[in-house]
Amino acid sequence: MFITVVARPPVNTNGDILWDGKIGIFPFTETQIPIRSSGNKQAGTPELKAITKATRYVIREKFISGVLPAIRSKWPANGVRDIWIQQDNARPHILTTDHAFDEAATQDGFNIRLVCQLASSIQFGEFPRDIPSLIKALTDAYNTFNPRFLNYSWIQYQLYMLEVLKVRGGNNYEQPHMGKKRLDKLGELPSELEVPSELIGSTH
């Protein structure tokens, strides 16, 4: 299990990516020292092991010790300090009212909050045989992921919100498309989508 954290990359008026938006990828592992030899491993040799039970406490500690410090260290100096972390609704995830998280999330002038959405996943075409190679495969995929696609994702969220408004908050909408890659190449990709005034009026 991993926690992977990204933000929307800022784009200037020329369409240049100013920051890749990659906060970090955090594996749920621990180093164990076996007291007995087994197979090719000698007793006393440190061994990286997966944490097989990611409880709410384990996830909270990963956020507090890993995710939040990474956000504070990588966040652009001129970026806003009010930040929302969106997580899915998996049962072990942190409650949005977790006091320990809130205390750690309001340090150094930051105001970081949690919000939940439905779960989703991405699979990569790698078949690692052990924990270190699994971590390497996912880290490589994370590091090579094009930050422009992250920007497309944020625009896609706005497209979905427009469709949700059209069906008055339901989920009976069709998947929206706008040709983001083509518009980006032409220098015509908008950074924000405007909500038509008539649509706002119809949702009251």
How much is the mean pLDDT over the chain? 84
Helix (H, G, I), strand (E, B) or coil at 85: strand
> Residues 31-50, buried b or exposed e (16+ Cβ, 10 A)?
eeeeeeeeeeeeeeeeeeee
- Show the domain range for 22: 2-145
pLDDT in tens, the chain (204 residues): 888 999 999 888 888 888 999 999 999 988 888 777 776 777 777 888 888 888 889 899 999 999 999 999 999 988 899 999 988 777 778 888 899 999 999 999 999 999 887 544 444 455 667 788 888 888 888 888 888 888 888 888 889 888 888 888 888 888 888 888 888 888 888 888 888 888 877 766
* 13 plus 24 within the same structural domain: yes
Q: What is the pLDDT of residues 87-107, one digit of tens each?
A: 877 777 888 889 999 999 999
* 200 plus 170 within the same structural domain: yes
* 58 plus 125 within the same structural domain: yes
Tell me which residue of 139, 71, 142 sits closest to 101, measured CA to CA: 71
Helix (H, G, I), strand (E, B) or coil at 84: strand
* 18 plus 54 within the same structural domain: yes
Total residue count of the chain as it appears in this document: 204
* 25 plus 125 within the same structural domain: yes
Q: What is the pLDDT of residues 135-174, one digit of tens each?
A: 888 888 888 888 888 888 888 888 988 888 888 888 888 8
> Which tokens go with 1?
């299990």
* 113 plus 57 within the same structural domain: yes
